[in-house]
Chain A
Amino acid sequence: MKGLPSLSSLALTLRTDRQVRARALLIARIAIALYIVELALNLIRPHVLPDEPALSIFYKMPADLAKMPGLGGSFSQLLSMPEAVFWAVLVGIGAAVLLQVLAAVLRPNERRSGLLTWLTLGCLFLPFGLISLMVVFGFFPTALACVPSTAFVLLLLYGGVRFGRVPGAALLTAFGWGALIVFGFGRACTGLAFGTINGYLGKTSGTDINAMLKNTNEMINLVLVHLGIVDALAIGAGVALLLLLFRYRVTDAVTGLTLGAAVGLGYSFVESILFIQIYGSLGSALGSSGGFEYWIRQSIGLLGGEVAFGALLGAGFAIAANSRRCVLVTGLSLLAAGGGAVGAETLSGWISARLASHVTTGGALDTLVVSPFLWLLPQLPFIGLAVALLVLGLRERAPALRDALDAEAAVGAAITPVELTVLASPALRLGALASTWRWYGRRSALVLHRLQSAQLELASWHAQKDPDNDPAVTSQGDELRARVLRLKNVVPAVTS
């Protein structure tokens, strides 16, 4: 990611003032409260087995059953929460409480207070990330296979928008939030919910095998609903935190959409690894294969699933932040992402089952076209909405870009009136690059691309808010201007 802003310039826009700290801690408290409620419900659940432990996550599968092919390894990690992670989460909560007590007693200055807040958030959230790390490092070759496609989408998110671009560090943070926290927190909560639901439904079936199968089916359905909702909440929490941190930059629907998509991408990365492993080992029983899962999750459907739902959720949150009906829009965004994820998972299976008798399963046409299409079908309305929000968001940015370019053209030579016309129009920018490539070669086109990016970054600096009139922010503008002028000296023939 060449052209990433330096960490110091990023720090200027990453302001952890009192409001940000208070809201970040509120989000963390809500998340931990939800986890504690899940724990309490699991503790009071009816016990189905004679010697069931107090918490269902401590249940050990009988050794003979665990040795059965496919039941150990990847399958056991589908909804599991290792004991070590459970205790790490509890220790993290204890440490976070101590840090907050320390902050209340010592009353540190702004900088230290910010540090204590981030340490608190780290203690509360990072232990959940251990679940994801176990998946990634446990199935490392599969994880490596998923890296190229994931990196491609990250680059697309970074390079796709240049005016008001989301900083690379923020994008990576969003990706990390999705991969570590959303996946880990969702699995931890849903693992507990699975035990709780099993306690209530398992009890009613008794020894009737037919009732037991029906209950298992209902249990899986409820767990899917639970997972979809918790994942949507966790994605929303990450997007809200990042939007808060970067609220002095351009934070509109496009920013939220990019951040949400990056969070969803992180989640999809870990989930893909797990599903590729599960279907790789249990494919014959489940009617699919690891290769097919790779095809739909990391190739043809890479921009679907949680990437699309995260994008929709992120855009919705950013729109809500600038809307008078903030709560309503936030709720609708969560419903879109949560309901969509549950619906897509359930209805794609239902549609496939209905069409199973009409399509030859396992053939090339089915594997490459029909099954991926059926998997994507329930998601299409959401993908369409996300694309529409992106187009509208980019259009909405056009006047802001024009104003920022005008402001810069008025004060210096970094952006001339001729360049202004080209920079304001994405079509003209692309045309300039293409003709430069044609007449001056690839190298000159790359330098021009770098110059345009620097000029758009300078324009983004004009568009960002600076309510405190921070002198550091002013000097950041001077640095960006100097960078543009340096780049102009490299390509005078192209820019003249």
Chain B
Amino acid sequence: MTTIQTRLVLAGGITGVALLIASLAVDFSGSNQMTVPQMPSMSNLPTALPTSFPTDFPTGFPTGMPTGLPTDMPTGMPTGLPTNLPSDFPTAGLPTGQPDLSGGGS
């Protein structure tokens, strides 16, 4: 009887291995994979944050102030500009009331 029981355990072990192999085959063949539409690739993301400040600073900054500025600025600005705005605007022909709103809004 024990021999038969041992054979049953052997059968269980073999079935277990067979199912394990079958499931691995299903898994890695992609048969059990969820189907999703083809996705576009994203641009590469940084995989790590910078850990230190840059050591090489940019060079070639201006070292001196500009020279040769214009020295002969114009003189003799215009004089006799008007000092008062016109006050007598025309009034004849201009509308006196608001137009009616469409839709009869009140």
Interface residues of A (CB under 8 A from B): 50-51, 206-210, 213-214, 217-218, 221, 225, 253, 312, 315-316, 319-320, 322-323, 325, 329, 331-333, 335-340, 342-347, 349-350, 353, 378, 381-382, 385, 388-389, 392-393, 395-396
Tell whether, in the assembled complex, residue A323 and residue B32 are in contact, meaning their CB atoms are under 8 Å apart: no
Cα A318 to Cα B17 with chains together (Å): 21
Tell whether, in the assembled complex, residue B17 and residue A335 are in contact, meaning their CB atoms are under 8 Å apart: yes
Interface residues of B (CB under 8 A from A): 1-2, 4-6, 8-20, 22-24, 26-28, 30-34, 36, 38-49
CB contact under 8 A between A353 and B44, given known A332-B10, A392-B5: no
Tell whether, in the assembled complex, residue A346 and residue B40 are in contact, meaning their CB atoms are under 8 Å apart: no
Cα A50 to Cα B12 with chains together (Å): 46
Cα A214 to Cα B36 with chains together (Å): 10
Q: Other than the known A332-B9, A339-B20, what 11 A-B pairs have Cβ atoms closer than 8 Å?
A: A210-B41, A217-B27, A323-B2, A332-B14, A336-B12, A339-B17, A342-B19, A343-B19, A347-B23, A350-B31, A389-B8
Interface residue SS majority, chain B: helix
Q: Cβ of A214: which chain B residues have Cβ within 8 Å of it?
A: 30, 33
Tell whether, in the assembled complex, residue A340 and residue B5 are in contact, meaning their CB atoms are under 8 Å apart: no
Interface residue SS majority, chain A: helix
Cα A325 to Cα B3 with chains together (Å): 11
Tell whether, in the assembled complex, residue B9 and residue A336 are in contact, meaning their CB atoms are under 8 Å apart: yes
Residue among B5, B12, B24 making CB contact with A225, cutoff 8 Å: B24
Tell whether, in the assembled complex, residue A393 and residue B44 are in contact, meaning their CB atoms are under 8 Å apart: no
Cα A107 to Cα B61 with chains together (Å): 81
Tell whether, in the assembled complex, residue A396 and residue B2 are in contact, meaning their CB atoms are under 8 Å apart: yes
Cα A207 to Cα B46 with chains together (Å): 10
Q: Cβ of A345: which chain B residues have Cβ within 8 Å of it?
A: 23
Tell whether, in the assembled complex, residue A353 and residue B32 are in contact, meaning their CB atoms are under 8 Å apart: yes
Tell whether, in the assembled complex, residue A342 and residue B20 are in contact, meaning their CB atoms are under 8 Å apart: yes
Q: How far is the CB of B18 from chain A (nearest CB, A)?
A: 8
Q: Cβ of B33: which chain A residues have Cβ within 8 Å of it?
A: 214, 217
Tell whether, in the assembled complex, residue A329 and residue B45 are in contact, meaning their CB atoms are under 8 Å apart: no
